[in-house]
Amino acid sequence: MNNFQVGSWQFSKPEVVAEHGVVTAKRPAVAKIGVDILRQGGNAIDAAVAMAFAIDVAEPPMTGIGGGGFMTVCLANGESYVVDFFPTAPSGATPDMYELTANFKADKLGFAGVKDNANAVGPFSVGVPGAVAGPLLALERWGNMSRETVMAPAINLAREGFEITWYETLHSANQLDLLLRNPEAARLYLRDGKPLLSGQEKPNYLKLPELANSLEIISQEGADGFYKGEIAQKIVTELQKAGCPISLDDLANYRALVKEPLKLPYRGLELLLLPGGTGGPTIAEILNILEGWDLKELGNTSPEYLHLLIEAAKLALADRLVYLADEVPGMAKIPWRELASKEYAALRRPFIGERAAGEYNPGDPFAFSEGQLSGSGYQSSAESCTTFLSAWDAEGNSVALTQTLNGYYGSGVAIPGTGIVLNNAMVLFDPRLGQVNSVAPGKRPLSSMAHFIAREPGGKNLSLAGAPGGRKIIDTVAQVLLNLVDFDMGPQEACSSPFIDPNGAVTLIDQRVGEVTLNRLQELGHKIDPQTATVWPRLSANPNAIKRQGDRLAGGSDIYTPSVAAGF
C-alpha cells in the first residue's frame, strides 16, 4: 500500500532523416510547403521564405505579417548573414509615452504597472512591422525563385483555409479577453464571441480571405505593397484613430537590416549567433563560461553539469538585464561584443563555486572598451508567442528564422479589410526614462531571439537550432546547442531531452532528470522547483533542430507542440 505508482503521458517523435533537404516548422502543412519548394528546385532561402509567409497564415497566435524577427542565412560557399527585421518604435514614440503607476515594477520577468497596460495591449503597443521586408529582402538577395512562386502557397493557405486543431482552440480560448477587445480580431479568430473549435467528426477550417488579398498585393508589388499604398493607409488610419504616434512615413521608411552574425569559436566549431540587442550575446557568454569544463564527461542530466549550467546562465542573465539593447548611433555604447568575448567569460567563470551562489551581480564588460550606460535594462517576457522554422538544402545552404507578433495575437489590434494583426513589440522596451533599453524613435527593442547555425570554421554547415518561447528562448537554445555539440546528440534527442528554466529566483527543472539529480542540486544550495514537462503550460521554449549526419540530414522537433521536421 505504501508503494504508490501512477502512469503518466509519454511524449516522443521520430527523427527525420533525408538525403536532399530537411525543414522544420511548427505546423505540418507549413513544413510540407517548405519541402515542396525544395523539390521544385528552390534553395533553403526560397523554402524558408515560403514557410515564413505560410506560418504567418497558419499560426496566428504567434506570428503574422504584422510582426517581425531575425533570419540567419549561411550559404554553402561560406558566406553568412543575419537579416534583422524586428519591429521599430514609431517616429512619434517618446521615452515617456507610457504612464507608470504606483505599482510599477521591473524584474527578470518584464514590466508590470504601466497604466492601462498600454505598452502591451492595444494601439500604443504596436511597433512598425518588419515581417514583410525581411523575408523579401532575403529572397531577393539569395533566393532562386520568384516572389510570386514563393508566396503562392501562403496565399492558397489563407484563401482555402487550414484545419483548426486543439492548438488553435487552446490559444483562442486562452486569449479570449484580448480578442474580444477588438471587434476585427474577434471576427477573425473567434466564432460568435467564442473560441475556435476543432472538428469532432470532420475537420473545421479557418479561412482568411482578407489576408489572402493582402498577401496577393505583396506578391504582385513586393514590399511596397505592404509599406506603401492601400495596406499602409489602412494600418495608419486605424492606429491614428486611437492616437498611436505612427505615420505613413514610418512604414514607408522601414528597412530590414543585413548584419554580420556574431561568430563564436566553440569546441573547434564556429557558431553563428544573432548579434546586438538579441539573445545571441547571452548565449555566447553562457557557452564561453562553460567552455572551461569538459561537459561531455559529466552527462546532460547529471547534477554536476546542471549546477554549472544554472550558475553560468545566472551570470550571463545578470549582465543581459543591465547592458543589452539595440545599438543606436549617438546613444550609449552597447557592449554586446565584450559580453560575448572569451576574455570577459574568463573574468566571470571564477564566480562559479562548488555550491549555488543564488543571484549574481552584473560584471563590467567596459573593462575591455570605452563607454558607459545609464540605468539598467530589463527583458520583458513574450511567453511562448513566437515561431521558429529552418531549412537546409542539398547544396548545403542553411537558414534559421525566428519571427513573432511578440505576445499572443500581438497587440490584439486587427486592421479591417486586411486580415492583418499587429505586433505589441513596444512592451519589450523599458518604459522608464534614461534606461539603456528605453523607448526612442526608430529604435528596435531588446529581443530574446537566439537561434544559431554551427559549422566548421568558415566551411561546411553542421547543425542549427532555434525555438520560440519569449524569455525562455535563450536558455533552451543554449541547452539544445550543448546537447548537439558537447553531448553529440541527434537533433530529435537534443530537442526532447529535459530542460531547465533558470530565469527566476527558483530554477524550474524537468523532473525527468531523476530524483538523485534533484536531491543533489538541493544539497548544493539550488532553489529548484521540479516540473512535469507537458503541453501547457510550457516549462521551456519549443526547439527544432537539423544536424548533418554523414551524407544525410536529420531533423528533430519539439515533442509538446505540432512542430515537425520533414525532408526528402
DSSP 434-467: T-TTB--TTPPPP-----EEEESTTS-EEEEEE-
Cell of 361: 551581480
Catalytic annotation, residues: 386
Cell of 185: 480580431
Q: Compute the Cα dihedral for 311, 312, 314, 318 and give only its sign.
A: positive
Contact between residue 289 and residue 281 where contact means Cβ atoms under 8 Å apart: no
Q: How many residues comprise the chain?
A: 568
Angle between helices 133-142 and 44-58 (to 10 degrees): 160
Contact between residue 547 and residue 563 where contact means Cβ atoms under 8 Å apart: no
Measured at the CA of 396, the angle between CA 130 and CA 45, to 5 degrees, comes to 25
Neighbours of 347 (CB within 10 A): 15
* H helical segments located in 94-247: 133-142, 147-160, 166-174, 176-180, 183-189, 209-221, 224-227, 230-241
Query: Which of 87, 406, 94, 402 is CA-nearest to residue 274?
Result: 402
Q: What Cα–Cα distance (Å) separates residue 283 from each residue in 130, 292, 306, 310?
A: 24, 15, 16, 13
Contact between residue 493 and residue 545 where contact means Cβ atoms under 8 Å apart: no
Cα 119 to Cα 113: distance, rounded to the nearest angstrom: 10
Q: Provide the 8-state DSSP code for 365.
A: G
Cell of 151: 508566396
Contact between residue 476 and residue 498 where contact means Cβ atoms under 8 Å apart: no
Contact between residue 485 and residue 290 where contact means Cβ atoms under 8 Å apart: no
257 has which bridge partners? 84
